[in-house]
């Protein structure tokens, strides 16, 4: 009976750890998505600047 209790306790602890890891992974993914969006905005701005600097005013 004592071993069963220890096993159940370990399983509960490992389940909590797994849940925390999953939560952290989700938060990290969300942060990287935010960074990607910021880089996209920067890239768009740079493209606009390059286009405006061209003599022909055309952007390819």
pLDDT at 59: 60
**What secondary structure does DSSP assign to the chain, as a single string?**
-HHHHHHHHHHHHHHHHHHHHHHHHHHHHHHHHHHHHHHHHHHHHHHHHHHHHSSS----
The domain tally of the chain equals 1
Is residue 34 one of the residues assigned to a domain? yes
Is residue 12 one of the residues assigned to a domain? no
Is residue 54 one of the residues assigned to a domain? no
Is residue 19 one of the residues assigned to a domain? no
Parent domain of 40: 25-49
Is residue 3 one of the residues assigned to a domain? no
Is residue 60 one of the residues assigned to a domain? no
pLDDT at 52: 84
Residue 57 has pLDDT above 90, yes or no: no
How many CB atoms lie under 10 A from the CB of residue 51? 13
Residue in the block written with tokens 């768009």: 44
pLDDT band at 54 (very low <50, low <70, confident <90, very high): confident
Query: What's the rounded Cα separation, in Å, for the pair 7 and 26?
Result: 28
pLDDT at 2: 59
pLDDT band at 14 (very low <50, low <70, confident <90, very high): very high
């Amino acid at each position: 009976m004592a071993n069963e209790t220890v096993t159940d306790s370990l399983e509960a602890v490992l389940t909590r750890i797994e849940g925390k890891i999953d939560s952290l992974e989700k938060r990290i993914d969300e942060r990287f998505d935010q960074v990607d969006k910021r880089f996209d905005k920067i890239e768009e701005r740079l493209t606009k600047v390059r286009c405006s600097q061209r003599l022909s005013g055309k952007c390819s």
